[in-house]
């Protein structure tokens, strides 16, 4: 390959063909850390969040909190937030563009100040992603909700408890409602809520802050407090990172011990890993040993809300099934357009046909290195997995998508024996 220079973000160069071996620690969960960091807006007392992964979405969240007036200290994986002097309730314009999860500022800002102004998020590469359920909740909770000049304006004069049923199950919608109600006195009821482990981790934090919360199936009873307290909390391990590392291990025919995992959060993923050719066993407290059993079985996957198979693992399994012995079917029920990785995997020799929300994958014996583009976070992870098993070299462009949600994934894979290099911005390869 010839190296030339042009303007790109960082890239990864992956040399396929090594089996992953060794031990690796799974980082704290991104999707648990973000709502927990937003919970700090609710209180003037000091909050300490531990095992927060060092990644772009966390940095964006802390920048947002700082811009509102919070004092933030970020050392290693520990974040301290003191929002005692918070003086703004309008989330800066560009933060939502940089990170969709900024919409989680609505609930706690409205709860603390009785008002919030938050830029309206647009669609993103995985679909239109409306926030109608968030807004419907705030409206039924008695807030005035206006969308004007590209922002959502929320205000409430008297905070009161509410009974609300979501029309569909939404993770951040549930979190926004909980973040608001944790600061509202009286007994509220939320029905048809998301029960992802990340939502439950937020529930744990809100309890520490003084809210009384009971969860029964998809119903939450919450009694908020007018004076939420500070807290110390260690976030749960990232189940999607764990799943991604498991797929990478199985697909390369390797054997890896994953530390800092909660197997109980991984039920549907473990089932599919075992169905597809992995063997998984407990290896001590919070630790799993994963290895390939030498088979590459095709399967059917349908993404569902937790405890079903997570949409955030769909792309990684699609990469794995590209090499299965037969035909697989993957149905994406959560997001409208989450198959962008398929075009890139096809460049590597995968045989996948997408029709609407369904992908039919005819397993091939080999795939080959190519120059491919990341389109979103989990799509990037699927390309890394494909690169690990492809013949030859794969160049993955736009890895900032990967860095938004995985803490040093390339370094972790390297420690497990993968041949993977990070190329700085401005360098690209051609003539291969
Ligand atoms: N939806 C609506 N209206 C709403 C809210 C959601 O129609 O008001 C729809 C969405 O368009 C989607 C479905 O409901 O079709 C589920 O979306 P949800 O609201 O549950 O997704 P989210 O809260 O925006 C979180 C994670 C995603 C993860 C999904 C599903 C965070 C910060 N993000 O998104 O994580 O895929 O739940 O589990 O927690 C990722 O980490 O790569 C990622 C995209």
Q: What is the DSSP string of 229-268?
A: PP-EEEPPB-HHHHHHHHHHHHHTT-EEEEES--GGG-HH
Which secondary structure element, helix H or strand E, spans residue 334, and what is its range? none
Residue of 347, 341, 397 whose CA lies nearest to 370: 347
Burial category of 93 from C-beta neighbours within 10 Å (exposed 0-12, middle 13-18, buried 19 and up): exposed
Residue 43: how many CB atoms within 10 A of its CB?
25
Q: From the CA atom positions of the chain, what is the Rg in Å?
A: 22
Question: Tens digit of pLDDT for each residue in 390-425?
Answer: 999 999 999 989 998 999 999 999 999 999 999 987
CA angle 359, 127, 357 (to 5 degrees): 20
Determine the 3-state secondary structure of 127 from DSSP. Answer: strand
Please tell me the residue having the least CA distance from ligand 1 atom 11: 129
- 184-216 pLDDT, tens digit each: 999 999 999 999 999 999 999 999 999 999 999
Q: Which atom of ligand 1 is nearest to the CA of 136?
A: 8
Query: Using the 8-state DSSP alphabet, how is residue 365 labeled?
Result: S
Q: Is 132 in the pocket of ligand 1 (CB under 6 A)?
A: yes
Instruction: Return the percentage of the chain with pLDDT > 90, whole number.
Output: 88
Across 20-34, 170-184, 208-222, 392-406, least confident range: 392-406
pLDDT at res. 308 = 98
What confidence category does residue 123 fall into, taking pLDDT thresholds of 50, 70 and 90? Answer: low
Q: Which residue bears the tokens 């000091």? A: 46
Average pLDDT of the chain, as a whole number: 94
Whole-structure pTM value: 0.96
Alpha-carbon 12 to chain mean position: 21
Domains of the chain, first to last = 11-27+237-423 (3.65.10.10), 30-234 (3.65.10.10)
Q: What is the pLDDT of residues 75-89, one digit of tens each?
A: 999 999 999 999 899
pLDDT tens-digit map of 85-111: 998 999 998 888 788 999 999 999 999
312 CA → ligand 1 middle, Å: 10
Contact status, residue 320 vs residue 348, Cβ threshold 8 Å = no
Q: How far apart are alpha carbons 44 and 61 in whole angstroms?
A: 18
Cα distances (angstroms) measured from residue 207 to each of 55, 220, 233, 409: 27, 13, 11, 32
Tens digits of residue pLDDT in 223-261: 999 999 999 999 999 999 999 999 999 999 999 999 999
pLDDT at residue 7 is higher than 80 = no
**Assigned token pair, 145:** 């909700």
Q: What is the reported pLDDT for 1?
A: 40
123 pocket-lining for ligand 1 (C-beta < 6 Å) = no
Q: Residue 432: pLDDT above 50?
A: no
- Tell me, what's the pLDDT at 284? 84
- Kindly give the number of the ligand 1 atom that is closest to the alpha carbon of 104: 32
Residue 77: Cβ within 10 Å count: 18
What is the band of 427 on the pLDDT scale with cuts at 50, 70, 90?
low
Q: Are strands 46-50 and 232-234 parallel, antiparallel or unpaired?
A: parallel
How far is the C-alpha of 185 from the C-alpha of 288, rounded, in Å? 42
Kind and range of the H or E run holding 17: none
**409 near 13, Cβ under 8 Å?**
no
φ, ψ of residue 94 to 5 degrees: the values are: -75, -15
d(CA 346, CA 295): 22
Six-digit token string for 353: 């046909």
Task: Specify the ligand 1 atom closest to the Cα of 310.
Answer: 38
Q: How far, rounded to the nearest angstrom, does the alpha carbon of residue 382 sit from its chain's CA centroid? A: 14
How many angstroms is it from 285 CA to the middle of ligand 1?
Answer: 31
Q: What is the pLDDT of residue 301?
A: 98
Q: Within 13 Å and on the Cβ side, how many CA atoms surround 372?
A: 33
100: nearest Cα among 74, 65, 130: 130
Q: Say which residue, 327 or 9, is predicted with more confidence.
A: 327
Which one of 64, 128, 172 would you pick to mutate in the ligand 1 pocket, going by the greatest count of ligand atoms within 8 A of its CB? 172
pLDDT digits (tens, 9 = 90+) for 368-389: 999 999 999 999 999 999 999 9
Whether 47 is catalytic is no
Among candidate residues 204, 38, 43, the one with its CA nearest the CA of residue 134: 38
The answer to whether the beta carbons of residues 63 and 38 sit under 8 Å apart is no
- Token pair in block for residue 157: 């004069």
Sole residue written with tokens 């031990």: 23
Helix (H) or strand (E) holding 218: none
Residue closest to 405 by CA, chosen among 423, 378, 383, 424: 378
pLDDT category at 2 given cuts 50, 70, 90 is very low
Distance CA 296, CA 250 (A): 9
> Is the pLDDT confidence value at 6 over 50?
no
What is the rounded CA–CA span in Å between residue 317 and residue 251? 10
Report CA(101)–ligand 1 centroid distance (Å). Answer: 10
Mean of the pLDDT values across residues 345-356?
97
Two tokens, residue 236 = 């749960």
Q: Please give the pLDDT value at position 122.
A: 65
Higher pLDDT, 189 or 126: 189
Q: Report pLDDT digits (tens) over 259-314.
A: 999 999 999 999 999 999 999 999 888 999 999 998 899 999 999 999 999 999 99
């Amino acid at each position: 390959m010839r190296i030339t220079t042009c303007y790109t973000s960082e890239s990864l160069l992956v040399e396929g063909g090594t089996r992953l071996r060794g031990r690796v620690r799974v980082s704290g969960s991104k999707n648990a850390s973000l709502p927990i960091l937003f919970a700090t807006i609710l209180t003037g007392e000091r909050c300490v969040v531990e095992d927060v992964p060092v990644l772009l979405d966390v940095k964006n969240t802390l920048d947002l909190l700082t811009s509102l007036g919070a004092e933030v200290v970020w050392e290693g994986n520990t974040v301290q937030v003191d929002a005692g002097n918070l003086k703004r309730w309008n989330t800066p314009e560009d933060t939502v563009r940089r990170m969709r999860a900024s919409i989680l500022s609505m609930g706690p800002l409205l709860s603390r100040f009785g008002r919030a102004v938050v830029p309206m998020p647009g669609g993103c590469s995985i679909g239109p992603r409306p926030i109608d359920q968030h807004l419907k909740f705030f409206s039924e909770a008695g807030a005035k909700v206006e969308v004007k000049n590209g922002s959502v304006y929320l205000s409430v004069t008297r905070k009161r408890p509410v009974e609300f049923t979501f029309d569909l199950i939404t993770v951040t919608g549930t979190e926004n409602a909980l973040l608001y109600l944790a600061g509202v006195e009286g007994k509220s009821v939320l029905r048809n809520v998301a029960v992802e482990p990340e939502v439950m981790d937020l529930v744990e934090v809100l309890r520490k802050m003084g809210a009384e919360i009971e969860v029964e199936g998809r119903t939450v009873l919450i009694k908020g407090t007018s004076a939420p307290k500070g807290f110390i909390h260690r976030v749960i391990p990232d189940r999607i990172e764990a799943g991604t590392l498991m797929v990478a291990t199985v697909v390369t025919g390797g054997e890896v011990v994953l530390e800092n995992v909660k197997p109980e959060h991984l039920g549907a993923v473990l089932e599919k890993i075992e169905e597809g050719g992995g063997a998984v066993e407990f290896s001590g407290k919070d630790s799993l040993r994963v290895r390939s059993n030498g088979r590459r079985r095709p399967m059917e996957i349908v993404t569902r809300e937790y405890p079903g198979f997570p949409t955030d693992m769909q792309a990684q399994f699609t990469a794995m099934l590209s090499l299965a012995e037969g035909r697989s079917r993957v149905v994406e029920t959560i997001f409208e357009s989450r198959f962008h990785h398929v075009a890139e995997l096809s460049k590597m020799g995968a045989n996948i046909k997408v029709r609407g929300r369904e992908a039919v994958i005819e397993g091939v014996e080999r795939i080959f290195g190519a120059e491919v583009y990341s389109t979103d976070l989990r799509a990037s992870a699927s390309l890394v997995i494909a690169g690990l098993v492809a013949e030859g070299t794969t160049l993955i462009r736009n890895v900032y998508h990967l860095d938004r949600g995985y803490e040093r994934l390339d370094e972790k894979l390297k420690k497990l024996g993968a041949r993977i290099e990070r190329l700085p911005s401005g360098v690209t390869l051609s003539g291969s």
